[in-house]
Amino acid sequence: MIDPDFGLPDILMGRRVLTDDDRQTVESKASLQQRNDELLDLVLQHGDSADLAFIDCLVETDQRHVYNYVVCNGGNHCAV
């Protein structure tokens, strides 16, 4: 599961994938699942460059398990 609470939205803001309003929207959601859903929806709305930045940010925030799942066929064929 993605952890949206410890730095990921802030790093995405620094890379201009999210705006401050986007970050606040993510943070306003009550449950972890709702924050994840909102974060993913926002990233997907911003196109391919946002998708690549998101993937890079997963590694930067030590969420390699999610990176592997997204990039490497469910995490079955590589590890970062």
Residues 38-72: tens digit of each pLDDT: 999 999 998 888 888 999 999 999 998 888 888 87
Does the model's pTM come out above 0.75? yes
Residue 36 has pLDDT above 90, yes or no: yes
26 token code pair: 């993510």
Q: What is the pLDDT of residue 54?
A: 92
In 69-80, which positions are buried (b, 16+ CB within 10 angstroms) versus exposed (e)? bbbeeebeeeee
- DSSP letter at 19? -
